Amino acid sequence: MRAESILIVDDEPSVLRYTKTVLIDHYRVETAECGEEALQRINRGPAPNLIVLDIAMPGMDGLETLAKCKKISPEQKVLMMSGSGDRHRLGQAMELGAADCLHKPFEAPQLKGAVRRVLESACADGDAVPDSGKASGVVLENLDDDLFFLAASPVMKQIYAQVSLVARVDVGVLLLGESGVGKEVLARLIHKVSARARKPFVKVNCAALPSELLESELFGYEAGAFTGATGSKPGKFQLADGGTILLDEIGEMSAALQAKLLHVLQDGRFFRLGGRTNIKVNARVLAATNVDVEKAIAERKLREDLYYRLSAFTITIPPLRERREEIPWLLTHYMKSLAATFGADPLPIPDTLLRECLRYRWPGNLRELGNFVKRYLVLRDEKHVVDELRAKNQQEGGSGELDHGAALAARPRGLKALVRTLKDDAEAKEIVRALEQANWNRKLAAAHLCISYKALLYKIKQYGILSERENEPALRRIDAV
């Protein structure tokens, strides 16, 4: 078998020599000293299996080179190299599609391991042609405090893939989404898979306390700092030293406290209230909010410079109504988990209950769904909870999705068949949307969906999706979701 090819791009000759020496025994290695030279090589073809790309280069830097590489070949695998000062740009690189990152200076085993990870993931993607008779794998990660992360929809699986990348890079992450979608869950997942997993995870709800109390909660205080402060107390930042701190509802923080927080993020140092000692802390900061960030910045409720400091990488979690195919999985897992907590036998999820759950909009998202399962488990009355959901659906005028519920009734009965049909429908809908956004360029659509070109072609054939360019309308076998 012919060795896989690697293109190393760096403006430092010593780095090129060292990297080539480490890899040359196992791969076909080429080098380029700048982004322009790398693009010329890629345009000549054939494309290398992997590009190892430095982020900081004169002229065309790594970010611009990465973006142009992805434009030429959306499936191109790129491993970024970065120095300690490139954390913000590294977050941007991941948003542009970098597969992994490697921090300079690195040893030979680190380089070999990173290259092997990226190349093995590329092989897995290329071979991943799903069996049409089987539901795709569901990601389930159990976290602390009975929390769990579940991904069964394409969008949540894509978020899970983003988490696996960004967790390894010590950059700020801003989590956006409606109340109850699972922002804290995602923050805990990032902490769990990061190098800080053995250190504390600390959460602070910025909306739960007035500004004065929130400041002392974040940074601590010394004895006598205010009335009632009889002793000193460490703040949440100090407690999170070495670990991760989640600033939940960051949009509710006062302007004055935002300014102080900005200095802490920049310098990694702060004073306790009433203190004279400059405390140094090393905590990764994650932030979450359900507000419209652009509107909050325009109305000066959120400092723009703080936003950019917090959002080296941004993840937007969609509401549950936009990923309904996950509802059957969530119901089942909530039932098992809560039944174990209450010491009760799990109850079945009958088709009638499942259909009403799929029709409902769940404005409270996962939090509301969990409470619904808890109520069903306590009452142990299927008819009662189904009637409650029907009443809510009728009050909303059907939520615009009742036709979907009616269609479900005509489909094969049974939970497994129902879940498979829902999964197929959601997947086909997402593929059509991606193809339309890419103007029916299937390579671009595959890159957007984070699947291989081969897998996309298989799914297009499986679901009977044809473009208008082929003189037939795209087959939309999807009910309104």
Could you tell me what percentage of the chain is helix, strand and coil, using 3-state DSSP and rounding each to the nearest 5? Answer: 50, 15, 35
> What band does 423 get if pLDDT is binned at 50, 70 and 90?
low
Choice among 126-135, 213-222, 304-313 with the minimum mean pLDDT: 126-135
Asked whether 240 and 283 are in contact (CB, 8 A), the reply is: yes
Q: Give the per-residue pLDDT at 377.
A: 93
Instruction: Report the topology of domain 419-470.
Output: Arc Repressor Mutant, subunit A (1.10.10)
The better pLDDT of the pair 397, 47 is held by 47
Question: Hey, what's the torsion of the CAs at 228, 229, 231, 237, to 10 degrees?
Answer: 140
> What band does 87 get if pLDDT is binned at 50, 70 and 90?
low
pLDDT higher than threshold 90 for residue 141? no
Q: Which two tokens stand for residue 324?
A: 């309904």
DSSP string, 2-28: PPPEEEEE-S-HHHHHHHHHHHTTTSE
pLDDT in tens, 92-102: 787 788 888 88
Mean pLDDT along residues 176-198:
93
The residues, any chain, with a CB within 8 Å of residue 116's CB and separated by 6 or more, are none
Q: Give the per-residue pLDDT at 224.
A: 78
What homologous superfamily is domain 154-316 in, according to CATH? P-loop containing nucleotide triphosphate hydrolases (3.40.50.300)
CA–CA gap between residue 104 and residue 94 (Å, rounded): 17
One fold for both 5-127 and 154-316? yes
Domain 321-417 in CATH 1.10.8.60? The answer is yes
When computed from its CA atoms, the radius of gyration of the chain, rounded to whole angstroms, is 25
The CATH classification number of 5-127 equals: 3.40.50.2300
CA–CA gap between residue 472 and residue 230 (Å, rounded): 77
The DSSP H or E segment spanning 52 is strand 50-54
> What band does 85 get if pLDDT is binned at 50, 70 and 90?
low
pLDDT higher than threshold 90 for residue 174? yes
Q: Give the per-residue pLDDT at 415.
A: 52
Mean pLDDT along residues 62-72:
90
Q: Give the per-residue pLDDT at 303.
A: 93
pLDDT higher than threshold 70 for residue 404? no
Mean pLDDT along residues 443-457:
80
The better pLDDT of the pair 442, 421 is held by 442
Q: Give the per-residue pLDDT at 421.
A: 58
pLDDT higher than threshold 80 for residue 456? yes
DSSP state of 277: S
Question: Hey, what's the torsion of the CAs at 443, 446, 448, 449, to 10 degrees?
Answer: 170
DSSP string, 237-267: HHHTTTSEEEEETGGGS-HHHHHHHHHHHHH
The better pLDDT of the pair 154, 328 is held by 328
Choice among 125-134, 176-185, 221-230, 244-253 with the minimum mean pLDDT: 125-134
> What band does 73 get if pLDDT is binned at 50, 70 and 90?
confident
pLDDT higher than threshold 50 for residue 452? yes
How high is the mean pLDDT of the chain? 82
Q: Give the per-residue pLDDT at 128.
A: 34
Q: CB-based burial of residue 99 (10 Å sphere; 0-12 exposed, 13-18 middle, 19+ buried)?
A: buried
For the chain, domain boundaries: 5-127, 154-316, 321-417, 419-470
